[in-house]
Structure 1
Amino acid sequence: MTGKQLNLEPRVLGMVRMSPVMPLWWKRLKEVTSVLWMFLAHCTMITGQHRNGVISARTRIDVLVECFRKKQPFTHFLSFALNQLAIQEKFLQFKEEVLEQCSNDIGVSSSLFQNPAKLHLTIGTLALLNDQEIRKAQEILQRCKEDFADTIAGGKPLTVEIAGIEYMNDDPAMMDVLYAKVHMKDGSNKLQLIADRLMDRFVASGLMMKEWDQVKLHATVMNTIFRKDPSAEDQNSKTAARYFKERESFDGRNILKLFGNFCFGEVQLNSVYLSQRFSTDSSGYYATSGQLNFS
């Protein structure tokens, strides 16, 4: 936000004074919520003759911006990177063996597999609408480090084992997502606890939508979304549902039978990343807008 009061010829929405001048790309959006967000992103000051009117206007803006946010595709997500070299090599072995033994099964093809450089665990997705919200997310991440992450992790990386596979839907003959299971090597719940508390903190901030009571920690290895878009990332259930009709499911029964206990190896998790969707850094992983380190 600019921190400046708006002095242009106004239109009035309740007690809110808005400039009629908008960037061209905003004019393409038909919903009033998008117009309100444009206003909120450029002006800090809401003026009015009565305090209650100002409060009411701000509440209306908050509600409409929240509705707008829910309709936007996510721009960032909190993640644990699983793309260490040893894990990538085991993943490529898994891919090779699956294609060698199961390529005749309905729908199974190389296009379903995750990019090994982008193997990860998703904690939650965020629609960050401007630079200010990105900075807010960065600040929240650092507060989480101070408030609980350092204590739970004990100042050390978390040793995680990636072993076994499971699928999302009810019918193994019509799979859309196959994922690798993860658990702490020492049998503790530290990883789950950190993920859940991060989700709770970001949900409370308004930057993340809560869909489940706890984070489902999983590493996607095969996804039918990749068939059409190899650069696609994990999507929440509401977003994924929009593409459900476009998916071509695959028969994963033989994969489960032959590779149900496949071990992808161990990984040391030392960071939580605020990852940028549709991006790539020098390592092949997602570019980051911020991170929390355990040690």
Structure 2
Amino acid sequence: MNDILRPELVWIEGRCYRINDPTTENSPFQEHDLYENDTLNEFEEDDIDDVECEIVQMDVDRFSTSLHVSKHYIGSVIGKKGATKARICRDTRTDIKIPRQGENKDITIIGSSVANVKAAVRRINIIVMSSRMRQAYTHFVSIPMNSPEIVKNFEKFKEEVLRKCSGIDESLFISSAKLHITVGVMCLMDNEERLLASKLLTEAKDKCIMPMLRDYLPLRIRLKGLSYMNDEPQAIHVLYGCVEEDSAPPGLLQRAVDALHEYFYKAGFMEKEFNRDNVKLHVTLLNSKYRSKKNEKEQNATNSRPQRETFDGSEVLSTFGDFDFGVIEFNDIHLSQRSTVGPDGFYQPTCVISCLSL
């Protein structure tokens, strides 16, 4: 159960909101908790100035805008028997027109002032982005770590581990072509959301990443050393390689990745994993879930749920703890599709941003 004194926070359009316990039965999203202080009469200029939308003046006292919302979230905007939509309309004094099922249209919002329209947009965004956080992720921002040198050394590492360490199954290893650093994960339900995420990645590169890296290009990253996610090396789920700067001050990569994650976080697309302030920089090498996937068909045949079994990595850590996989240049950042592989063996990209030049 969540600590009621430290409820979950979500960033929407650069602002922070509090969400009630998401495990509460029949109430995955507590609308009143987000809106309790947001009545129209209490809006201040800085409340809506950060809402970005194109508003058109229809006539003397009517303004309108259109807002894309994936069909997967329309039900959340409408609410039970239309209650959520009705409340937004009432509180913001707007008329909200939601496309019917099967119509490929955006939501239209009409109000008597720009402030009213922006207020409605913000409230809908809060609902959509909070709902997004409760979906299984479809995409992730990644930094490929599959240079020829690293791939060659990883295959050597794999071969030696299988030969020297008992109890390690080959199915635990990630494909060498998929080696990467994960910046953060997100759920993108349609092409409009994918385009928006691509735009955010481009903006973050220009505003956050490149200003930090400009004096150290091309940034070289070394993959060296092993660590693990759990407390017990005899019961590991994820064994990973550590990363460090090879040609730049220590901590530069961490600051750049944190800034990138923060940009998506404040846009409402990413969460902070385990409420950490920093992204855990790592390159997964062995993962118990890969073995689980291998046995999934057999388990499905018996109607049993796939179970992840830990593995004993203590011998791997003691024998190869300082293994040096080599260096890669930080050339680009990918918006990668989960569980989809491209022709090069890496995750299929939705967007690739180059970090080679300003």
**Partner residue of 2:285 out of 212, 221, 238:** 221
1:119 correspondence with 2:179: yes
User: Which structure has the bigger radius of gyration?
Assistant: 2
2:49 is matched with none
> Structure 1 residues 4, 185: closer, same or farther in 2, change over 3 A?
closer
> Structure 1 residues 55, 111: closer, same or farther in 2, change over 3 A?
same
1:27 is matched with none
Query: Per-residue CA shift, 1:65-90, capped at 9, x if unaligned?
Result: 22321121111111110111211111
| TM-superposed deviation, 1:61 | 2.9
> Structure 1 residues 49, 276: closer, same or farther in 2, change over 3 A?
same
| TM-superposed deviation, 1:98 | 0.9
For residues 17-166 of structure 1, the aligned pairs below 5 Å read 17-19=97-99, 21-23=100-102, 42-47=105-110, 58-103=121-166, 105=167, 108-154=168-214, 156-166=217-227
Distance 2:206 2:126 in 1: 30
User: How many pairs align?
Assistant: 258
Which letter does structure 1 place at the counterpart of 2:354?
A: N
Distance 2:197 2:319 in 1: 42
- Secondary structure of the 2:146 match is coil
| TM-superposed deviation, 1:129 | 2.1
- Secondary structure of the 1:229 match is helix
1:288 is matched with 349
1:210 correspondence with 2:272: yes
Distance 2:285 2:67 in 1: 48
1:252 is matched with 313
Which letter does structure 1 place at the counterpart of 2:289?
A: I
| TM-superposed deviation, 1:50 | 8.7
| TM-superposed deviation, 1:274 | 1.0
- Secondary structure of the 1:160 match is strand
2:47 is matched with none
For residues 270-285 of structure 1, the aligned pairs below 5 Å read 270-285=331-346
Distance 2:306 2:338 in 1: 23
| TM-superposed deviation, 1:192 | 1.2
In the superposition, the TM-score normalised over structure 2's length comes to 0.65
Distance 1:56 1:162 in 2: 47
2:22 is matched with none
> Structure 1 residues 170, 44: closer, same or farther in 2, change over 3 A?
same
| TM-superposed deviation, 1:293 | 1.6
Question: Aligned Cα RMSD in Å?
Answer: 2.9
Identity, in percent, stands at 33
| TM-superposed deviation, 1:146 | 2.0
Distance 1:150 1:287 in 2: 24
Structure 1 unmatched ranges of 5 or more: 24-38, 231-243
Counterpart contact for 2:133–2:270, Cα < 8 Å: no
> Structure 1 residues 66, 148: closer, same or farther in 2, change over 3 A?
closer
Distance 2:143 2:218 in 1: 12
Which letter does structure 1 place at the counterpart of 2:262?
A: D
Which letter does structure 2 place at the counterpart of 1:222?
A: L
> Structure 1 residues 18, 169: closer, same or farther in 2, change over 3 A?
same
Which letter does structure 1 place at the counterpart of 2:272?
A: K
1:29 is matched with none
Distance 1:4 1:148 in 2: 27
Structure 2 unmatched ranges of 5 or more: 1-64, 69-77, 90-95, 295-304
> Structure 1 residues 54, 152: closer, same or farther in 2, change over 3 A?
closer
